[in-house]
Structure 1
């Protein structure tokens, strides 16, 4: 699998830039900006490059003007297109501009440029009468320092698409979760109240954190993870730190707040003497209604042990949906495997065999097996003079099957049955469990 990275433009990148410029001007009659203007901007303004090995695969250059920036050059070498490089460069330069107080990014595209679709995928709007593309940076300058203080960040915009498989489930979540939050005005016109808080539950390693990050990425909202263990180390105590963290989050226009292993701070209360976490459970139950009153917010709590949660935690009015995250189905396992198998090895592998052999594996199990297979194949290739016995480049099916057979599944059959029992029990308690109409729980 070809890998690339994004970094700031450096003086020795000029030759690679000029090769891209020649390819660029061959497509257009008159460039929007002259060559000398663009070169000057690579030195004085903001510029990033996409690098593959020693090759410059793409360049993006932007010039700031008041609170708006103009992209004066944007190109990806034709042989490296449709690999996500365009969106990655646009996202990287947007982050650099946001830190300087820029709130809008625009680009003028001359006729003849073929890869303008990457601009619309990156969120730029096409002003058709002008061929003018503009995008509003989703975070204000004053929010950046607050986000940093909270330990939050803006995630790349491709995480939602990167989740393999579960086409039906993702469509359901898009309708119920993403659309109302992303377009609250239209939702209000139809009487739809956007969700404010959800619970993800399921066995360990099934992708709950991945899903939470994917939702933040899809909404283009800041992602903030609240770690109970870090809060507990504060001299103010866990309850005080939790309250202060949510007060700071109020300073953001939008936010996805994620609490993993929420059972640590929302366990069942009671007993004599009271549990040490009872005060923080009480505080969390107070925080959630206040959090729900403000638009542009989504609280995502995740747990491996939903049975351990205090019953008051899941009462109506606190969480809009409880979403089961189970083991990946065959479609999802195939997509996950393809994420880790090098492109050169994919054509000579029987993926159906590999998918069947890893039934019951979590995404984390598949990643572990894939990396183990790659390491074993790499060591063998080096020992054999960089050739497999079949002459193929990269790991072989036998490497993956061997690694899978040596990988212990994270989720045992007993845990999988408990997960299904939890779904049935929650439905019986009239908890709004979100899954598709076929009765299949969302699987990541």
Structure 2
């Protein structure tokens, strides 16, 4: 667990910036920008600091001009390097500069500076024979207004890496979706038509929404979620509002468009007279072919009940793939537990036993059990084991250091009601055979 944090620069941090500057000089690193420029940008442009307690242990300073942004200073104390602080500082200062609508972010570093990992991990490209870093901002300035109107956003770059486990699903999505979309020119050379629309299906809580967001993060495309329930109150009706929304999405250069629980607006059409939702289904079936004609975008629909979808909805030509997202396997469950158990106690917890006991758990179930165990352990440490409420002299901080134990996790697992029943899982396996298309 990290014991440092990132926050905005305060005037009282000037001494900390000066100390970082002097530390660079002491290690024979000559900053590109003069100290006066860095200090001026701290006050009037964009600056963030990493602090441990009240000590400034790192800083990043950025300056924006028109659609171009520059990192004018990035430094971390030597004893704090290798902890990901530089990457976090770059991410934070970029977020502060985002309202300017930048389409390029660059950095000049002295030739003697060899610690470039922070820039590379943030997507900058190293220019040959130069310490010049450049990153293309995925959303152009002129698109920000339209994206804001749609409620869309650009997600963090690390969402894909943060999807714990689920290696099989991630590899499939990487190969089928991300590769041909991210490398469109290369795909064209091989005669591959990039996908335009996919359906993710599976039991509740298996991470379909998380995967949709991770795909957008991996591509660095804006993520726009369409909520039919919100559109239903539009004066022009749900069908008209849906059509208008997709016309607005067409104004974006790139987009991952996500519709969750799509069965609500694309269910089987039947009955006489037709139900009001049949008009919505018909409108969506018209929208998809037009959407597919536009490059640089991907429609992701998710459903827990793929059998409820209209048969015309899943036909070839509308959706390129119909991909199952199931319960996590043993490897995925282990990765999730490793992620949720605090680093301070993970070595003392029987992770293998937790993995075994959570077979049949969805990712949401595992997260709930992990957080429940942590909450119970916290309450027990503070109130029941010589903590404040029992009149003991143990401080809250000392008590909490114990952290959750294996038994705490097992108790939480035993009290967790799983999302996916045996019947639902059996239906899902049948749906993979009958409707899956990968």
Output the TM-score relative to the length of structure 1: 0.91
Question: Which position in structure 2 is the counterpart of 1:362?
Answer: 362
Which residue is 1:414 aligned to? 423
User: Secondary structure at the residue paired with 2:33?
Assistant: coil
Distance change in 2, residues 1:168/1:309 (3 Å): closer
Q: Describe the shift of the 1:263–1:118 C-alpha distance in structure 2 as closer, same or farther (beyond 3 A).
A: same
Q: Does 1:31 align with 2:31?
A: yes
- Please list, as runs of the form range in 1=range in 2, the aligned pairs for 1:71-110 lying within 5 A after superposition: 71-110=71-110
Cα separation, 2, equivalents of 1:88 and 1:388: 26
How many residue pairs get aligned? The number is 429
The 1:334/1:20 distance shift into structure 2, 3 A limit, reads farther
Contact 1:50 1:59 in 2 (8 A): yes
Structure 1 residue runs of 5 or longer lacking an equivalent are: 428-432, 435-444
CA contact (8 A) 1:27 1:112 kept: no
Q: Secondary structure at the match of 1:99?
A: helix
Q: Distance in 2 between matches of 1:52 and 1:272?
A: 68
Change (3 A) 1:63 1:410: same
Pair 1:111–1:334, CA change in 2 (3 A): same
Q: Could you tell me which residue of structure 1 aligns to residue 389 of structure 2? A: none
Q: Is 1:270 the equivalent of 2:270?
A: yes
| Secondary structure of residue in 2 paired with 1:143 | helix
The 5 Å alignment of 1:34-433 reads 34-51=34-51, 54-383=54-383, 384=386, 385=394, 393-426=402-435, 433=437
**Larger deviation, residues 109-118 vs 283-292:** 109-118
Instruction: Give distance in 1, aligned partners of 2:59 and 2:259.
Output: 38
User: How far, CA to CA, are the matches of 2:84 and 2:227 in structure 1?
Assistant: 31
**Mapped partners of 2:363, 2:39: distance in 1:** 45
| Correspondence for 1:11 | 11
Residues 185 and 417 of structure 1: CA distance in aligned 2, closer, same or farther (over 3 Å):
same
* Alpha-carbon shift at residue 339 of structure 1 (Å): 2.0
C-alpha distance in structure 2 between counterparts of 1:388 and 1:351, whole Å: 25
Structure 1 residues 182 and 286, CA gap change in structure 2 (3 angstroms): same
Q: Give the C-alpha shift of residue 351 in structure 1.
A: 0.6
- Report deviation, 1:5: 5.2
User: Which segments of 5 or more consecutive residues in structure 2 lack a partner in the other structure?
Assistant: 387-393
Asked if structure 2 preserves the Cα contact closer than 8 Å seen for 1:98 and 1:141, the reply is no
Change (3 A) 1:88 1:358: same
CA offsets per residue over residues 110-159 of structure 1, 9 Å max, x none? 23434312211211111121121111111111111111110010100000
